[in-house]
């Protein structure tokens, strides 16, 4: 039976991060990300991961959006 688990083929949808462009709540906020990761993303175009788990390629001015409450809570717990 252990061989069945080892040989399981996982669909691509389960192995890729969810890079969303929908109208979900996370799209309405500015998120907390490590500064060096933002710089790296600007150079390479690689996606970043926010503290709340959102994965995306930054392409808009975060100053135009309210801070993600989930990111803010996690950040405060980390620094508190």
Looking at residues 11-21, what average pLDDT do you find? 48
- The better pLDDT of the pair 12, 31 is held by 31
Q: Reply yes or no on whether the pLDDT at 8 is more than 60.
A: no
Q: Is the pTM of this model over 0.85?
A: no
- The mean-pLDDT minimum among 13-22, 35-44, 54-63 falls in 13-22
Instruction: Say which DSSP state 12 is in.
Output: H
Looking at residues 44-61, what average pLDDT do you find? 94
Provide the pLDDT for residue 27: 75
Compute the CA torsion angle 42, 43, 46, 48 (nearest 10 deg): -40
Contact by Cβ (8 Å): 68, 28: no
The neighbour count for residue 23, using CB atoms within 10 Å, is 8
């Amino acid at each position: 039976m252990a061989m069945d688990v080892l040989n399981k083929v996982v669909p691509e949808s389960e192995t890729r991060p969810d890079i969303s462009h929908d109208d979900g709540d996370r799209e309405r906020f500015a998120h907390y990300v490590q500064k060096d990761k933002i710089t790296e993303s600007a150079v390479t175009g690689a996606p970043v991961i926010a503290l709340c788990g959102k994965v995306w390629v930054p392409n808009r001015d975060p100053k135009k959006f309210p801070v993600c409450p989930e990111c803010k809570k996690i950040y405060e717990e980390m620094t508190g």
